[in-house]
């Protein structure tokens, strides 16, 4: 089983719909992250959480919200989806040590029509 699991893997939806992407991990890491990937732009940080009571905005948080339900679960919501939020979304985790690498899920491909 994957250490960092994202659901769904693929989603097609319509403009204006509320969407939730879920991430769960079995690595026991405290820190969790959400990124979006767009062709030619690399990965950009949306939100991150260093523990259950900690939520921080990243580079591109507008139009998104998150919930850290437990140490192992971190959800990303699009309150009212718009077409330019069509992208590949990644969840990642890391330990509490800043020089340790992040570990990524396999991504959720989201298409908004």
Partner 1 sequence: AQSVTQPDIHITVSEGASLELRCNYSYGATPYLFWYVQSPGQGLQLLLKYFSGDTLVQGIKGFEAEFKRSQSSFNLRKPSVHWSDAAEYFCAVDPGYSTLTFGKGTMLLVSP
**Site residues (vs partner 1, CB under 8 A):** 4, 31, 33, 35, 40-45, 48, 50, 58, 90, 92, 94, 96, 98-99, 101-107
CB of 54 to partner 1, least distance (A): 11
| Residue 51 vs 79, nearer CB to partner 1 | 51
| Residue 24 vs 107, nearer CB to partner 1 | 107
CB of 4 to partner 1, least distance (A): 8
Identify each DSSP E strand in 1-113 by its residue range: 4-7, 10-13, 19-25, 31-38, 42-51, 54-57, 64-70, 73-78, 87-94, 103-104, 108-112
| Residue 18 vs 44, nearer CB to partner 1 | 44
CA gap 16, 112 in Å, rounded: 9
- Characterize the bridge pairing of strands 108-112 and 10-13: parallel
């Amino acid at each position: 089983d994957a250490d960092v699991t994202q659901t769904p893997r693929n989603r097609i939806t319509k403009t204006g719909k509320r969407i939730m992407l879920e991430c769960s991990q079995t690595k026991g890491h405290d820190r969790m992250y959400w990124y979006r990937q767009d062709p030619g732009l690399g990965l950009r940080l949306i939100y991150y959480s260093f523990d259950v009571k900690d939520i921080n905005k990243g580079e591109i948080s507008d139009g998104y919200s998150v919930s850290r339900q437990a140490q192992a679960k971190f959800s990303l919501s699009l309150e009212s989806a718009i077409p330019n939020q069509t992208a590949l979304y990644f969840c990642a985790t890391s330990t509490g040590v800043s020089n340790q690498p992040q570990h990524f899920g396999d991504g959720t491909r989201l298409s908004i029509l």
